[in-house]
Structure 1
Amino acid sequence: MITLAETKEYLRVDGSYQDEMIQRLIDAAEQFVRDYTDQDFADGAPEPVKTAATLYVSALFDGELDPAMTHIRLLLNPHRLLGLA
């Protein structure tokens, strides 16, 4: 969905000393997106979904997840699969 290189560029991180931690954040963001939308985006995610995942990583990286969640959800809401009971 999002790559380590793209994410590091967005975060303005140089070098590789934080790669493992950033990759764990990417994995967490992608899992959140899959859980929230009930989709796996195996054939590629649309740009708003990628943006939401990147914002999620950035918010975790900066320790500011709560304020960002409104924007992340707004980006993801159109891509949610809602079951009908």
Structure 2
Amino acid sequence: MRLFLALALLVAAPAFAQAAAPATPRERLIAADANKDGKWSKEEWLAAGRREMGFAMIDADKDGFVTQPELMEGMKRMQAMGMSPPPQD
């Protein structure tokens, strides 16, 4: 019985490890959209592990929110400036 229990725990361990794997930057950003309005406030942006400076650069219209189009355009600008945006997956 003990052997069976030990084997069951060994088999289940990888499944638990996969569930605890860190999310990708994109997944963290999507999850940080707490109110699911499709845009990120500065608080949501910071909760996703993004930098405040990045928010200021990406929020093109300076309305206090980053939208998906602003994010995509900001990434293009960063690449054009020779900066590497964080990986998206």
**TM-score, normalising length: structure 1:** 0.28
- In our comparison, the structure showing a higher alpha carbon Rg is 2
Question: Quick check: which one's strand share is greater?
Answer: 2
**TM-score, normalising length: structure 2:** 0.27
| More relative contact order, 1 or 2 (CA 8 Å, 6+ apart) | 1
